[in-house]
Amino acid sequence: MAQYSVTFQQIKSAMDTLNQLAGDFKNAVNNLESTEGQLCSMWEGEAKDTFDKAFKQDKVQMDNFYNAIIAYVHALEQILTKYQTTEAANTEIASTRNYQ
Question: Can you tell me the mean pLDDT for 10-26?
Answer: 97
> Mean pLDDT over all residues of the chain?
94
Question: Can you tell me the mean pLDDT for 7-35?
Answer: 96
Question: Can you tell me the mean pLDDT for 34-56?
Answer: 95
Q: Which amino acid is at 71?
A: A
- 71-94: pLDDT as tens digits: 999 999 999 999 999 999 999 998
Q: Alpha-carbon distance 26 to 21, whole Å?
A: 9
Please determine, for residue 100, whether its predicted confidence score (pLDDT) is greater than 70.
no
Domains of the chain, by residue range, sit at 55-79
Stated pTM of the model: 0.82
Q: Residue 11: CA atoms inside 13 Å, Cβ hemisphere, count?
A: 17
Please determine, for residue 62, whether its predicted confidence score (pLDDT) is greater than 90.
yes
